């Protein structure tokens, strides 16, 4: 299996793959709307010339107290085709993506998801860093991983996703 950055010719396959993985079009449409924005990162897992997984990062903003120029991203969505799930593809995509985010100068990554799953990558509750999600979600479901130790020191308040996320049901 190969993990690589998305290519222009992958767009349709990524859309179909996200729709299949989530059983609806919402996440696929979200990726289409966010794609090409400043500081977005899109990675695919390819096996036998077929896209079987996808991972997307987009900028988020700390709306409370924080340095103005702090580069932080949100990890969402991550998807794997149903027939390829539970084979480590999502884990491999996330590990690769986090390394690339770090190389690009990103200081921290936020995610909204299963604490049991994301803790394996080093994510902790954002509440421990005095940060919270703009959406009403359990504290344990909104997590952060500092790619640079101490990058979020002094930051407090809500973390805001791009407005395109508000359309997710």
List per-block mean pLDDT (blocks of 10 residues) for the chain, which spans 169 residues: 95 96 94 90 95 96 86 96 95 97 97 94 96 94 96 94 82
CATH number at residue 31: 3.40.630.30
Q: What's residue 8's pLDDT? A: 94
Sheet holding 157-160, edge to edge: 61-62, 157-160, 131-133
- Print the domain residue range for 149: 2-167
Number of domains into which the chain is organized: 1
Q: What's residue 169's pLDDT? A: 63
CB 141 within 8 A of CB 112: yes
3-state secondary structure the chain: CEEEECCHHHHHHHHHHHHHHHCCCHHHHHHHHHCCCCCCEEEEEEECCEEEEEEEEEECEECCECCCCCCEEEEEEEEECHHHCCCCHHHHHHHHHHHHHHHCCCCEEEEECCHHHHHHHCCEEHHHHCEEECCCCCHHHEEEEECCCCCCCCCEEEEECCHHHHHCC
Q: What's residue 37's pLDDT? A: 82
Q: What's residue 163's pLDDT? A: 86
pTM, two decimal places: 0.94
Q: CB within 8 A of 23, min separation 6: which ones? A: none
Neighbour count for residue 46 (Cβ, 10 Å): 15
Q: What's residue 84's pLDDT? A: 95
Q: What's residue 13's pLDDT? A: 96
């Amino acid at each position: 299996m190969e993990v690589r950055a998305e290519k222009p010719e992958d767009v349709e396959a990524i859309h179909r793959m996200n729709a299949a993985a989530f059983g609806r079009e919402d996440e696929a449409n979200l990726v289409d709307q966010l794609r090409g924005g400043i500081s977005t990162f899109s990675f695919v897992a390819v096996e036998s010339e077929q896209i079987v997984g996808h991972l997307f990062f987009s900028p988020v903003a700390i709306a409370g107290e924080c340095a103005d120029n702090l580069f932080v991203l949100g990890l969402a969505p991550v998807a794997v085709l149903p027939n390829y799930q539970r084979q480590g593809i999502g884990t491999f995509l996330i590990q690769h993506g986090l390394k690339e985010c770090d190389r690009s100068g990103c200081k921290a990554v936020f995610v909204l998801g299963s604490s049991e799953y994301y803790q394996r990558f080093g994510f902790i509750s954002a509440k421990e860093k005095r940060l919270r999600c703009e959406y009403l979600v359990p504290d344990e479901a909104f997590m952060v991983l500092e790619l640079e130790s101490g990058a979020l020191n002094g930051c407090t308040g809500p973390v805001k996703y791009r407005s395109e996320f508000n359309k997710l049901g």
